């Protein structure tokens, strides 16, 4: 298993590696797995029966660039050649027609350098495995050799999620709707090492129990990458009805977003989150023009992180499909953001005017009431 960006860290690399080990142990709790670490590599020893769940955990572990099932052999050229031939035979059985050798010699006392290893072992495979040919530019498969404290040979390499281990960059509070964007935003911040909690605003009976449960399921998926998250479900019906009754109709959506930011910041400060996270993308909808983003942010003082701000919808959808949230996000249960949406919303609101209208609504008592009654749900513990 290969750590990702950790290799770029200096004196604090050990601290990052310690968090990565902790996260890995959390994901693999309940399995009989032994973990070793040697100079830039982590080694997991497990039984064949537990290989599938271990690999499933590794596919969700933020902070590693890749992993592979590997064989270790003595550090002799004959042993390395023999292991490469076995890998070649396996590749041929899998219908591969071409291959190449990639070699890395960390232990410089080994008598053959990387180039010599590629030549010697490549020729050994060619001689021993009929029908398998070398293609150094576009091979069907690659046999990897790493000369470290032992010689490691593998071919079935998997790409990891990369990024930094979750828990190395503080915690943020994600405004989680039932849509496509916000789970992706949470994933991107987790991949930068941030621990994630989430808040969801629910307007029962105008939003259904299914809409609430949909968001819980999204939080479970996100929590599987984030080592678990706490989801705060806040009843926002009274706040939303006050906005509908008293605000100028074109301003309703912006003022609702301001109320959500206001409430989310109060929760964030209570749980000691360092920032708010949203799934906003510039000009995707009316409330996300640069002017309206300035309005919705004007009510809070914590930093507001918008990791999707420059992404188009197709890119966001592709990432949602990758992390497994897309199919849930498109289920037809509306969240409270789309309720009472004005037919002609304000497009370029002025922050000073927005604050004026927001203060005129006198929402503070209603928000405080909502904060006394919110529900906390633990989602996705990483296992």
40-49 pLDDT tens trace: 788 899 888 8
Phi, psi of 73 (to 5 degrees): -135, 165
pLDDT at residue 333 above 90?
Answer: no
201: pLDDT confidence band, cut at 50, 70 and 90? Answer: very high
DSSP letter string, 127-176? HHSTT-EE-SSS-SEEEEEEESSSEEEE--EEE---SB-TTSS-EEEEE-
332: pLDDT confidence band, cut at 50, 70 and 90? Answer: confident
pLDDT at residue 182 above 90?
Answer: yes
pLDDT at residue 7 above 80?
Answer: no
Between 3 and 372, name the one with better pLDDT.
Answer: 372
* pLDDT value at residue 206: 78
Stretch(es) of the chain classified as CATH 3.30.2300.10:
72-155
Min mean pLDDT across 23-32, 157-166, 188-197, 327-336 is at: 327-336
pLDDT at residue 2 above 70?
Answer: no
Tokens linked to 84: 């490469």
Place of tokens 């307007």: 203
pLDDT at residue 338 above 80?
Answer: no
Between 29 and 233, name the one with better pLDDT.
Answer: 233
Q: Is the separation of the CB atoms in 165 and 14 below 8 Å?
A: no
351-360 vs 252-271: helix axis angle to the nearest 10?
80
> Average pLDDT in the 227-247 region?
94
Tokens linked to 365: 């008592």
pLDDT at residue 205 above 90?
Answer: no
**Mean pLDDT over all residues of the chain?**
92
383: pLDDT confidence band, cut at 50, 70 and 90? Answer: very low
Q: Could you tell me which CATH number the domain at 171-379 has?
A: 3.40.50.620
pLDDT at residue 341 above 70?
Answer: yes
Distance CA 353, CA 359 (A): 10
Segment 53-103, tens digit of pLDDT: 899 999 999 999 999 999 999 999 999 999 999 999 999 999 999 999 999
Torsion on CA atoms 108, 109, 113, 119, rounded to nearest 10: -140
pLDDT at residue 374 above 70?
Answer: yes
Per residue, the 3-state secondary structure of 238-299, as one string, reads HHHHHHHHHCCHHHHHHHHHHHHHHHHHHHHHHHCCCCEECCCCCCCCHHHCHHHHHHHHCC
> What percent of the chain is predicted at pLDDT more than 90?
78
* pLDDT value at residue 211: 87
230: pLDDT confidence band, cut at 50, 70 and 90? Answer: very high
Between 3 and 219, name the one with better pLDDT.
Answer: 219
Residue 157: Cβ-neighbour burial (10 angstroms; 0-12, 13-18, 19+):
middle
9: pLDDT confidence band, cut at 50, 70 and 90? Answer: low
Tell me which CATH homologous superfamily contains domain 72-155.
Answer: THUMP superfamily (3.30.2300.10)
* pLDDT value at residue 5: 64
Q: What is the pTM of this model?
A: 0.90
Segment 284-306, tens digit of pLDDT: 988 899 999 999 999 999 999 99
pLDDT at residue 188 above 60?
Answer: yes
Torsion on CA atoms 354, 364, 298, 191, rounded to nearest 10: -130
Stretch(es) of the chain classified as CATH 3.40.50.620:
171-379
175: pLDDT confidence band, cut at 50, 70 and 90? Answer: very high
């Amino acid at each position: 298993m290969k750590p990702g960006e950790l290799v770029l860290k200096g004196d604090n690399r050990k601290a990052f590696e310690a968090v990565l080990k902790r996260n890995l142990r959390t994901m693999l709790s309940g399995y009989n797995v032994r973990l070793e670490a040697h100079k830039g590599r982590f080694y997991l020893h497990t039984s064949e029966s537990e290989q599938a769940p271990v690999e499933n955990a590794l596919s969700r572990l933020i902070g590693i660039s890749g992993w592979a099932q590997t064989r270790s052999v003595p550090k002799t050229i004959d042993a390395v050649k023999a292991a490469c031939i076995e890998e070649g035979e396996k590749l041929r059985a899998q219908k591969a027609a071409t291959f190449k050798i990639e070699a890395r010699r960390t232990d410089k006392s080994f008598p053959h350098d990387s180039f010599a290893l590629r030549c010697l072992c490549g020729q050994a495979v060619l001689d021993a495995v009929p029908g398998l040919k070398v293609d150094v530019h576009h091979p069907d498969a690659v046999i990897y050799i790493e000369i470290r404290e032992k010689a490691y040979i593998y071919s079935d390499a998997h790409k990891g999620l990369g990024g930094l281990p979750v828990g190395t960059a503080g915690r943020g509070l994600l405004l989680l709707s039932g849509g496509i964007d916000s789970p992706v935003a949470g994933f991107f911040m987790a991949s930068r090492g941030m621990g994630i909690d989430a808040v969801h605003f629910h307007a029962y009976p105008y939003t259904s129990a299914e809409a609430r449960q949909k968001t819980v399921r999204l939080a479970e998926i996100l929590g599987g990458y984030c080592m678990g998250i706490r989801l705060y479900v806040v009843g926002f019906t009274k706040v939303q009805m006050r906005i509908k009754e008293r605000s100028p109709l074109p301003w309703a959506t912006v003022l609702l977003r301001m109320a959500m930011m206001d409430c989310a910041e109060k929760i964030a400060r209570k749980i000691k989150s360092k920032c708010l996270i949203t799934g906003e993308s510039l000009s995707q909808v009316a409330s996300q023009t640069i002017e309206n983003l300035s309005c919705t942010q004007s009510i809070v003082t914590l930093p507001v992180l918008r990791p999707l701000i420059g992404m188009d919808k197709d890119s966001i959808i592709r990432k949602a499909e990758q992390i497994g949230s897309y199919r849930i996000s498109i289920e037809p249960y509306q969240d409270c953001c789309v309720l009472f949406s004005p037919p002609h919303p304000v497009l370029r609101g002025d922050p000073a005017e927005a604050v004026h209208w927001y203060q005129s609504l006198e929402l503070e008592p209603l928000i405080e009431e909502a904060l006394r009654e919110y529900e906390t749900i633990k989602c996705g513990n990483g296992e």
